[in-house]
Structure formats: structure tokens, C-alpha cells
Chains A and B, each alone.
Chain A
Amino acid sequence: QKEVEQNSGPLSVPEGAIASLNCTYSDRGSQSFFWYRQYSGKSPELIMFIYSNGDKEDGRFTAQLNKASQYVSLLIRDSQPSDSATYLCAVTWPSGTYKYIFGTGTRLKVLA
């Protein structure tokens, strides 16, 4: 089992819709979870992070964490064509270290 798993996509959503991106992780002790956006040919940029179970909202973005089920998700409301990118999930792994493991990313396409 991979340490951090994401569906590679592409996930296609119409403009204005909600895009839902999911990530599962294998280390039950992981404490910190991060979402990055990466445009083609560019480096990852941080969108948001979450440490506690539940939801965390930042503008059009909501991160959801469920440690019991070992998944973290990112919702993008009112999706725009400019949101088309690859979304990377990162997890501190193994627990108790400051090493980060990234998933392979989900490619999102927002259709105008």
C-alpha cells in the first residue's frame, strides 16, 4: 500500500461546480496534512493545511480530515477555469517526524 494515495484523474467539473479531491494515507499516527496546487511546469504552492478532525475553510477552499478513516479531502467551491491544475496531498510521515510524503496528485480540469 502506498503511503499517500490520490486518484490521478483527470477530474472534470463544470465551471461554478464543487470539485472534490480525496487523499488517503497509511500512517494512522500522521498529524499534519497539506494541500498544494501545482500548475504545469511550475512548483507546488500551498493552498491550506489541517491538523484536527473536521473541516477547515479558507475562501473557496475547504479541507476535511477524518483520522479514523485516514482520509483528507479538499473541496473547491465555485470552481473556475484557473483552478485547473494538479492538486497534491502531503502528509507528515512517519508520525513524529518533519518528513513529508506527497501523493501523486489529482489533475483537475474545470470546463468553461
Chain B
Amino acid sequence: AQSVTQLDSQVPVFEEAPVELRCNYSSSVSVYLFWYVQYPNQGLQLLLKYLSGSTLVKGINGFEAEFNKSQTSFHLRKPSVHISDTAEYFCAVSKGTGFQKLVFGTGTRLLVSP
């Protein structure tokens, strides 16, 4: 079975600083990886996805992530954050076949302060 680990429950950062949110996965089969963002009292919005191909994936709002198979990681990065990036970020994995039976990590709350 797949599982996703987000070690950091909360990441405080100052505006315009870079940030990295960590995600590690475990699976015995090939997986597809996703990052979703959830703003307060909202649903989930897809930031980016890794299905295959280039290991560096660019998403919306200036975010990018790098798939590292040897380290089973899919860390999310942004070179310069804004106050509006304050939200909950979820890493998710699916088995890569069939429909999207997503397994989510526990989430990382990104807190951006002035």
C-alpha cells in the first residue's frame, strides 16, 4: 500500500523568502504524485503533478517540485513566497492506474508573515 509522509506540520517563513515543503512516499509500485493547496474554508486546488518524464515539475503560482526516485521524495519549493501563499499544503500519491484513489499526507501549514 502507498503512504505519504509530510514531516513538517507547520513551516513559518517570512515574505519573499524561499520555502521547501517536504514529502516522502513509500510504494512498491510506480506512483503518481501530486501537491494540492487548501485555503481556509475552501476545497483543494491542484498545484502540480508528476506522472512521468522530467523530474522537475512546474506548477501554478510559482511553485515547483522535484521527483527523486532514489530518495522517494517529492519536495515542493518556491523561491519567493507571498502572504497569500499562507495555506495548508497536501502531498498525495495514487497508484498510477485506474481512477484517482488519492492517499494524502497529513499536510503542512505554510505560515507567511511580513
Q: Do A and B actually bind?
A: no
